[in-house]
Amino acid sequence: MEREEQQRKRAPGGFLRQGQLLDLLLSLMVALTLAGSTNAVPAETISQSSPIQPISMGTTLVAIKYRGGVVVGADSRTSVSGYVSHRFAHKIAPLTDHTVLLRSGSAADTQQIAESARMTFLHRRYRCGIVPTVSQVAHWIRSTVYEESTEGVVSLLVAGFDPESLKSRIFSVSLSGALIEEKTFAVSGSGSTYVLGYLDHHVSGDLSENEAIELCQKAIELAIDRDGSSGGRFNIIVINGLGRRIVETPLESIVSETPVRVAGFASTSSPLKKKKNL
C-alpha cells in the first residue's frame, strides 16, 4: 500500500512534483542553517571588527592664477586608511576644453561627480551648442554636492579659463555645498595646510606662466615631504585661451633622495629627505 501511494504522488516520468521539490529544498536549507548556527558569527560583530573603508584621496591640490591663464597641480597617491592603494592616480579631471576638476576625498564619490559633470556638459555642447563658463560648471558641481548628500567626504576645486571674458577663475567646493571663488590661488586636501604659508608669501597677482608652474611644483613637493597621504609624482596642467596643456615633469624629481630647498624656508640641522614610493 505504501508503495502504491508513493507511486501516485510521483509525477509522470518518475520525477517529484514541483511542490514536493520546493519542500525538499526548504527542508535542506533549514537543516544546514541549524547545523551551522553554533559556529555562526553575528553580522554586527563582523561589521565592527572589519569595517569596509572607502578608498580616500588624501592628497594635495593646488591651483594658481597667472597672467593669461591658470596652473593646476596634484600629487598621485591614493590611500585606504594607512595603505597606499594606488601610486599614480589621476586627480585632475577635464570637464570642458578650458575647465578641470581637482578631486580630493572619497575616490568613488569624486569620480562619479566628475564623470556626471563631463557627460552633462558634453551633451549640452553637441545637442544645444552651449559651452559653459567656469562659473557655470562650478555652480553645477556645487548643486550636485549639496543635493546628493552622500556619506562620502569630498573637497573639490574647479579651475579654468573663460575665452570670452579672458579671465582665469578658481572655485572651491566644500562638502556642505559652499562655493567660494578664490582671488589668486586655492589649495585643498590633507597636504594643503603645509603649504598655505608658502603660497601666501610667494603668490602674487602678476605671475608669469613659468613662475606659476614652479610655485605649483614646489608647493606639492613640500606637502609630500610632510603629509603621509600625499606622494607619488605630481601632475601639472596649464589652462589658457589655447586650451589645456600637460606639463611634463620627470619622475626622478619626486623619488630622488635630494632634499627640497625652497627660498624663504630656513634650513634645519636634519633636513627632510624625499620619501621613496612604497
- Is residue 37 helix, strand or coil? helix
Q: Can 150 be counted among the known catalytic residues?
A: no
Beta-bridged to residue 48, according to DSSP, are none
The C-alpha cell 543635493 sits at 147
Of 33, 45, 59, 249, catalytic: 59
Alpha-carbon distance values, 110 to 55, 103, 137 (Å): 11, 6, 15
Rounded Cα distance, 227 and 60, in Å? 9
Give the C-alpha separation, 131 to 168, whole Å. Answer: 16
Side-chain-facing half-sphere of 170: CA atoms under 13 Å: 21
Q: Is 72 helix (H, G, I), strand (E, B) or coil?
A: strand
3-state secondary structure of 57: strand
**Where are any strands of DSSP class E within the chain?**
56-57, 61-66, 69-74, 78-80, 83-86, 92-96, 99-106, 154-162, 167-173, 179-181, 185-188, 235-240, 243-247
List, as own/partner pairs, every contact residues 262-271 make where C-beta atoms lie below 8 angstroms and the sequence separation is at least 24, other chains included.
Answer: 262/198, 262/218, 262/221, 262/222, 264/198, 264/201, 264/202, 265/198, 265/222
Which residues does the annotation mark as catalytic? 59
